[in-house]
């Protein structure tokens, strides 16, 4: 059934079915999507109905509760896996100019890439740190709740067809070498050098249900909060605040902000346009 068909029949019924489905998923599998953006959830669930040729969300719920493979398919749909290397090059420029000098003051530091998806952005950070001579002085944690995308990230293997866009982003971000210096081509794919992944710990972590991951100097979680309802955004920003050391840096996506949150007064703005914030020393 399409969304239009649902809307024509009963919007209230659709919302009830969605709510019951999210509750069932939480009770059965422990994944909590109850405070995700209703628009995002509705779009992905209705898409999943189409590819499974089902006529109602209630039917989908029954199959999900009885078949883990069906749930895993929906989990992939609900995951936020839109990413690319050096995405938003201006952000990486700002990181080089405004944050790297601060990281240089530490003998050793930790970075958390939250919601790392298939890993393109965490490899971007590793390359930036390598070029700035800081990769050997840090530990990078890359986390996601979707174990399937974590495995892709661990491998560091991407389609060669994507590289042209990655290279453009890299150049625009202020890259100091050639992106090809950091990978090898093989059979239509590119494999990023192990010197990058050796400094990255990939781990299963759910921003919605899990607690503080580690005490870190820099958190990057870009273009994830936009898929959360306001209350969940507040909770996750609180999790980031608790995870940052004093004067630690928080980087969000360009459409995200801590403005109007209850944590706004606990951060200083480093770059408003690129949504980079510094935890205040209290």
Q: What is the pTM of this model?
A: 0.90
* Predicted local confidence at residue 9, as pLDDT: 55
C-alpha distances (whole Å) from 62 to each of 2, 13, 27, 31 are 19, 17, 13, 17
Cα–Cα distance measured from residue 142 to residue 161, given in angstroms and rounded to the nearest whole number: 24
Cα–Cα distance measured from residue 129 to residue 213, given in angstroms and rounded to the nearest whole number: 22
CB 25 within 8 A of CB 35: no
**pLDDT tens, the chain, 282 aa long:** 444 555 545 778 888 999 999 999 999 999 999 999 999 899 999 988 888 888 899 999 999 999 999 999 899 888 877 789 999 999 999 999 999 999 999 999 999 999 999 999 999 999 999 999 999 999 999 999 999 999 999 999 999 999 999 999 999 999 999 999 999 998 889 999 999 999 999 999 999 999 888 899 999 999 999 999 999 999 999 999 999 999 999 999 999 999 889 999 999 999 999 999 999 987
Compute φ and ψ for 58, nearest 5 degrees: -60, -40
Helices (H), the chain: 3-9, 11-29, 38-51, 57-66, 68-78, 89-94, 100-103, 120-131, 147-155, 163-172, 194-197, 230-243
CA angle 219, 222, 228 (to 5 degrees): 110
CB atoms closer than 10 angstroms to residue 155 = 15
* Predicted local confidence at residue 213, as pLDDT: 80
* Predicted local confidence at residue 172, as pLDDT: 97
Q: What SS3 string covers 265-278?
A: HHEEEEECCCCEEE
Give the residues across from 139 on adjacent strands.
Answer: 110
Cα–Cα distance measured from residue 47 to residue 50, given in angstroms and rounded to the nearest whole number: 5
CB atoms closer than 10 angstroms to residue 193 = 16
* Predicted local confidence at residue 76, as pLDDT: 85
Evaluated on CA atoms 232, 236, 242, 248, the torsion sign reads: negative
Mode of pairing for the β-strands spanning 200-204 and 189-192: unpaired
CB 213 within 8 A of CB 221: no
* Predicted local confidence at residue 8, as pLDDT: 46
CB 204 within 8 A of CB 147: yes
């Amino acid at each position: 059934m399409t969304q239009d068909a649902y809307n024509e029949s009963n919007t209230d019924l659709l919302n009830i079915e969605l709510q019951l489905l999210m509750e069932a998923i939480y009770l059965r599998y422990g994944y909590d999507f109850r405070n995700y953006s209703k628009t995002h959830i509705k779009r992905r669930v209705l898409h999943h109905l189409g590819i499974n040729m089902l006529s109602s969300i209630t039917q989908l719920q029954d199959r999900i509760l009885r078949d883990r493979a069906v749930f895993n398919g929906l989990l992939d749909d609900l995951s936020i896996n839109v990413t690319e290397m050096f995405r938003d090059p201006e952000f990486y420029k700002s990181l080089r100019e405004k944050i790297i000098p601060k990281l240089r003051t530490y003998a050793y530091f930790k970075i958390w890439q939250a919601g790392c998806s298939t890993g393109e952005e965490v490899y971007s950070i590793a390359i930036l740190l390598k070029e700035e001579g800081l990769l050997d002085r840090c530990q990078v944690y890359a986390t996601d709740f979707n174990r399937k995308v974590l495995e892709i990230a661990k491998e560091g293997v991407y389609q060669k067809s994507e590289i042209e866009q990655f290279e453009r982003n890299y150049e625009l971000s202020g890259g100091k070498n050639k992106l090809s210096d950091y990978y090898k081509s093989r059979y239509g794919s590119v494999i990023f050098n192990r010197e990058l992944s050796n400094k990255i710990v990939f781990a299963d972590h759910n921003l919605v249900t899990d607690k503080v991951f580690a005490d870190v100097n820099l958190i990057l979680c870009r273009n994830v909060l936009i898929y959360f309802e306001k209350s969940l955004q507040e909770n996750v920003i609180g999790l980031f605040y608790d995870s940052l050391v004093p004067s630690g840096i928080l980087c969000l996506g360009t459409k995200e902000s801590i403005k109007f949150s209850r944590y706004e007064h606990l951060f200083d703005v480093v770059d408003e346009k690129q949504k980079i914030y510094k935890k205040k020393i209290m």
